[in-house]
Chain A
Amino acid sequence: MERPPSILLVGLGGAGCSIVARLATRLPPEIGVALIDTDTRSFQQLPGATVVQIGRAQTRGMGTGGEAALGSASAESDETALRRIFTGVPIVVMVTGLGGGTGSGAAAVVAGYAAEVGATVLTFATMPFSHEGERRQRQANEATGVLGLKCHGLVVVHNDLLLQQVATDAPLSESFAAADAWVGGALRALAGAFTPGALVAADPAALRSILANPGSPTLFAFGVGTGEGAAMKAARAASECPLAHGPSSVTKVASLFVHVTGGPTLTTTAAFEAVAAVRTRFGGETSTIVCARVNPDLGDRIEVSVLGASLPAPKSPAKAKKGAKAGDPSQPMFEFATEEAMRRGLFGGTPMTFIDGQDIDVPTYIRKAVRLPASP
């Protein structure tokens, strides 16, 4: 068997597979791709990729029909096959759509296997739109709680928030496309950092150092700027990125990984200006790893992507390790509970009130995905 890739991009479930399949053609060769699903149709989107069909006995090659329990049982039944694809891979980036059966059920199990064989796991999980119904929402909320404990980094992409970027009269297909585009952009920016030829290089080990502990709150933001003062514009766009404003996002982190990509005109000053702006917004006091590169295709555009995590007390690694091993759920679970509460604001912690399958304590503008006028 050939040498395992330094980064393995994994699509899990229907939504995860289609995002990864669309991205795969534009990835550098250092990044391997694998698709995991119960439904064999997902694999047809990317012929020739590493595929793992899970739960053959349970689903017989069909989907899970939205059953999370079936999803997790499927992943458990194919433990050996899953462990095999993760063996020797230092970093696993998993993409999945929560709410359905395979994503919600299998994600935590798959991430657990990957972490157990020694990989650093970063997961991008999309949350369902509010109008997809109460059941999917609940299933997705439950899944993030468990998933957060298994992954080293979890970026939750709230489709509702992304929808605010789309025009109000946009068709449904466009709103789903927007969600895919954001995750795709984020992954491309991340992948680009590890492509050879960077001015200020970073290696996968840097990512591992940032995402050292499972269950720590993760931040991901991504922004693009063009023309005059492009670097600052990109940094500002990144700080307003909807991925960083999800209810489960953290606002300040201890360690940052900043990746700046620009056209041939990118100056060192501009690049570090952007890094400084990002640091004021997101923190990064403990460590900031910078990576900068030139991509001639970008012209006068500058892209800034930020990945960060709060390291729980770096001075006592023994304690952190112990916590990670024992899977002590109390602390991180509490974290997630309060983060979920942020979406509901002052009503956090009170029982949800459902009308027509929607939690009406969540602001109307979020549920209806109305774009608010920009603040001055």
Chain B
Amino acid sequence: MTPKLLPSLIAVIDIGTHKTVSLVGQMINGKARMLGFSERRTDGVVKGTVIDLERLHRCVHEVVNDVERSSGRSIEHVYLSLSGPAAEGERIKGIHAIPAHDGKVTAKDVTDAIASAKRLEPPAGRATLLYMRQPTTIDGRAVANPVGMAGKRLEVHFWRVTMEEGNMRMRVGMVNGMSIKVQDFILASHAAACATASDSDKQGVLVVDMGAGTTDWILYYKEHILCAGSIPVGGEHMTNDLSVALRISRETAEDLKLRFGSAMHREADANQTIWKDGDRGLGDQQFNRGTITQVLSLRYQETFEYVKKDIIQHLEQLFPGHAVKLDQYFLPAGIILTGGSANLADAAEAVHAIMQLPTRIGVPTFENDSLRKPEYAGVVGLMTAAITDSPPPVRRPRGFLASLKDLFRF
């Protein structure tokens, strides 16, 4: 008996520091069609780290309820994004000596090499989340498909992302508590890149996803993930800096940041006086615009200096002895800046000034207009990545007995 195939349902949840977004889509002829969408202010997460699980649980539950209501489907499997300091990447390799008789690589040699790479244990207390394939080499030469080629030494490389075991268990447990299974974790920066960078961009591009709590970056070279990292600074820090500098509340600071903020500080800003509410009524306050842009631009620029430093450190580790320069020969597509903090005025200009690479704001390509904003690159990309990287399971209609079995499974 062959099971009848149903168009598979894909659900993704992106839990960010600022907001939690969920999207439900359906694969139709290889393309995703959106069925439902919901969004809520995240509760219980600071700087990308969960501080109050109960509040986060309630928030995610509400998001899931909303998206189920708006799509009219019940969710059983979900893809989760993974970002910030919890996820750490490293390069691992598997080496396999090709048997000498004819020096040709067989499919089994490749499997053996992969197995030897995956045998490497992750650091204590961390669990492996995913492997991203990097170029395979034969005697140091990069090849697309080694099978049938001749050589002595076959090396396979992976970018391995690991996560703190406790943190992973917590997230899985939270979703399981809503009787939903976690299909897979997807690296948030990879997701953001999938939504904003084309395959030709991925010949050499840096994608920076600057959210509220963390700034995640990922580097693609020749269509492979070369390395990825995260800086625990985001839009919240800019709001915080502003509230400390002007002695105003977080809400006011957030509002001023959006209305008058900029990632570039110009001399002329200091001559400009702005009103907090604009109605010049009771409690309205005057501020110097220069103060706002100065505070924000310093933080923005510093963050990208950290990103640059982090990338260079990673590259030095990957290519010891080679001084790899972050220039246009290495990254022809330049930088794609995305995430909520990419909305700050002059963001691309500021990043260009620091990194000396052409920079553009990444907007997800999606059928739905309301999601074509940098802050939704993460969730849209999650869906794109889910489809391209690990096709979702085909849902089979389940009989009554199967559901009953499910109930009693431990």
Contact = CB atoms under 8 A, between A and B. Distances in A.
A343 B239 CA distance: 14
Contacts of A365: 241, 245, 294-295, 298-299
B296 to A, nearest CB: 9
Interface string A329-367: 000000000000011111100100101000011011110
B306 A355 contact: yes
Contacts of B231: 355
A360 B233 CA distance: 8
B190 interface: no
Contacts of A364: 241, 295, 298-299, 302
A33 B256 CA distance: 50
Interface string B283-307: 0001110110011001100100010
A350 B51 contact: yes
Given A350-B51, A355-B306, A364-B302, A345 B295 contact: no
B309 to A, nearest CB: 9
A360 B238 CA distance: 11
User: How big is the A interface, by class?
Assistant: 20 to 34
Contacts of B298: 364-365, 368, 370
A48 interface: no
B44 to A, nearest CB: 12
Contacts of B243: 345-346
Interface in B261-300: 269-270, 273, 286-288, 290-291, 294-295, 298-299
Given A353-B232, A360-B232, A365-B295, A373 B240 contact: no
Interface in B295-323: 295, 298-299, 302, 306
B361 interface: no
A372 B291 contact: yes
Contact of B294 (A342, A346, A372): A372
B236 interface: yes
Nearest to A251: B247
Main DSSP-derived SS at the A contact region: loop
Contacts of B287: 375-376
B150 interface: no
A346 B236 contact: yes
B46 A373 contact: no
Contacts of B273: 376
12 contacts: A345-B244, A346-B236, A346-B240, A347-B237, A350-B47, A360-B233, A363-B237, A363-B245, A366-B244, A368-B298, A372-B245, A373-B294
Interface of A: 342-347, 350, 353, 355, 360-361, 363-366, 368, 370, 372-376
Given A345-B244, A347-B237, A372-B295, 17 more contacts: A345-B240, A347-B236, A347-B240, A353-B232, A361-B47, A361-B237, A361-B240, A363-B240, A364-B241, A364-B295, A370-B298, A372-B291, A372-B294, A373-B290, A376-B273, A376-B286, A376-B287
